[in-house]
Amino acid sequence: MNQIINIKKPDQILEVVRKEGFMIIDDVINLKLLSELQNFWIEFFSKKNIKAFNSRNIYGNSQMLGDVNFNSSRKEKSVLLLRNRQYLWNTPIHKPTVEIANQINKYRNLTLGLPEDEAFTYSESRQSNFTQVNCYPDQGHMFEHRDTKSDKVLLSCMFNITFKGSHFEEGGLFLRIDEKKINIDDLIKPGSVMFYNGNLKHGVDQISSKAEIGRIAGYPMRQFFLNSDYPNYFKFLNQAHISIRRRLGISSKAQGNSSLV
């Protein structure tokens, strides 16, 4: 594959994230390419496309190997966001975004000491990498949470497509480290990639965006998937089961993935 991003010394990432909680690496994504991403995703998440986001399944409950790419959104007290997921087995809706996310996922594999193609190939573990793009529009936000209940480090990664100061004025992603709140969108520059511990408390403070663009960011993801031979009613029941457990505060069994170290 064409190398379109460049991260020097990927072997140091895990050590820094263990120690500091996060690591921002500047000058990773070419700025011309980044403006291509901005043009595509600002239009994609614009108000006239809002009908495409009517699924409420933002957590991807019961996602299966072979699923189609999909959009979702939630508008409630604890969360207001729009989300797009592109899976490896489908034609990407925006190829450069998927290529960037795939390459960051490969760097994550290297820093975790895993084979470069971990979760890019089908295996019994049913993990797969994929590309997620989130938009927190004007007034968008996400409640403070940890991604799993494990005490280990969950090596997560993210790259901004829009930026505080250019596309939105207030709010943004924060990490809470030793009770200190760190506003990540004040530190991120165009072209930066961030690695962070998804098991630290984090959330998104309410966005204010006069241009009604909001905060758009790409997330190279890795999650578990169900085998595709389950019938649809199973998918429905499993989804209901997971949301009941979540409401009762009981965590799902398969939390985390091979990024948990």
Q: Which residues bind Fe ion (CB under 5 A)?
A: 147
Q: Which is nearer to Fe ion, 122 or 143 (CB)?
A: 143
* Residue 79 phi, psi (nearest 5): -155, 140
| DSSP 8-state class, residue 10 | G
- Tell me the residue type at 31: L
CB of residue 198 vs Fe ion: minimum separation in angstroms? 6
- For Fe ion, which is the closer residue by CB, 20 or 147? 147
Residue nearest Fe ion by beta-carbon distance:
147
The sign of the dihedral angle between the CA atoms of 199, 135, 10, 111 is: positive
The tokens for 49 are 């496309």
β-partners of residue 143 are none
Q: Report the distance separating Cα 247 and Cα 192, nearest Å.
A: 36
Which residue, 27 or 147, is less far from Fe ion as judged by CB?
147
Full DSSP string of 38-97: HHHHHHHTSGGGGGGG----TT-TT-BTTPPPEEEEEESSSEEEEEEEEETTS--SSHHH
Smaller CB distance to Fe ion: residue 34 or 141? 141
Question: What type of residue sits at position 79?
Answer: V
Q: 200: which 2 tokens?
A: 């630290």
CB of 168 to Fe ion, least distance (A): 19
Residue 56 backbone dihedrals phi, psi, to 5 degrees: -100, 5
Closer by beta carbon to Fe ion, 56 or else 210: 56
Closest distance of CB 224 from Fe ion, Å: 16
Q: Where on the phi/psi map is residue 65: left (φ > 0), alpha (ψ -120 to 50), or beta?
A: beta
We find the least distance from the C-beta atom of residue 146 to Fe ion, in angstroms, to be 7
Please check whether residue 67 is in contact with residue 77, taking contact to mean a CB–CB distance below 8 angstroms.
Answer: no
* Least gap, CB of 48 to Fe ion (angstroms): 28
- Smallest gap from Cβ 241 to Fe ion, in A, equals 22
Select 99 or 215, whichever has its Cβ closest to Fe ion: 215
| CB closer to Fe ion, 93 vs 187 | 187
Closest separation in Å from C-beta 76 to Fe ion: 16
For residue 239, the 8-state DSSP code is H
